[in-house]
Amino acid sequence: MIEKDELQELIPHRGKMLLLTRVNTYDVKEMRLSAEYDITSDCIFFDPVIGAVPSWTGFEFIAQAISVLSGIRNRELGIKPRIGFILSIQSMKMEVPLFKPGSRVEIRVKQNDATDLIYTFEGEAFLEGTKAIEGKLMVMEINEDNYSKLCRER
């Protein structure tokens, strides 16, 4: 199990932007991970009008689970965590309209494909054992040296 403090060593998200509470299991060879996020009113996506976090934000929970899995893999390879970007979200289905404070969301991701630094993952989020959201995300990692050079050239 990986708790919040260690998660911050694996991904760049901090404070309210960190949308995972813990990693329960992972397998770098199979490129799969299961994590959880405890919903609170402190969540950056919390909407006080509805008193909850809209379920469409679940794609970001999935993206952060992917980022943690990448961070774990890169740590095992001796590579610093890389910056990542969501390129596309496909086949997103939402079965639950919102996540209420006090609930726990379980997030599962599995890599389907990889080409260079572009990866395709299937992701799911469950609320109290019921599938709340599912979809496919295409993500891209950036080599930090190339990113820094690009920023300096601008």
| Tens-digit pLDDT string for the chain (154 aa) | 888 778 778 887 777 788 899 999 999 999 999 999 999 999 999 999 999 999 999 999 999 999 999 999 999 999 888 888 999 999 999 999 999 999 999 999 999 999 988 999 999 999 989 999 999 999 999 876 655 555 566 5
Residue 109: HSE in the Cβ half-sphere, 13 Å Cα cutoff: 29
Both tokens of 38, joined, read 């405890």
CATH T-level assignment (fold) for domain 2-153? Thiol Ester Dehydrase; Chain A (3.10.129)
Amino acid, res. 147:
Y
pLDDT of residue 4: 76
Spatial contact of 26 and 32, defined as CB atoms under 8 Å apart: yes
Every domain of the chain and the residues it spans: 2-153
The CA distance from 52 to 55, in Å, is: 9
pLDDT of residue 148: 56
The CA distance from 16 to 77, in Å, is: 29
Distances (CA, A) of 113 to 31, 92, 108, 119: 10, 18, 16, 6
pLDDT of residue 2: 87
Q: Which H or E run contains 123? A: strand 118-127
Is the pTM for the entire model greater than 0.85?
yes
pLDDT of residue 96: 94
Q: Which H or E run contains 5? A: helix 4-10
Phi, psi (degrees; rounded to nearest 5) at 8 = -70, -15
Q: How far is C-alpha 37 from the chain's CA centre? A: 10
- 98: which strand partners? 54
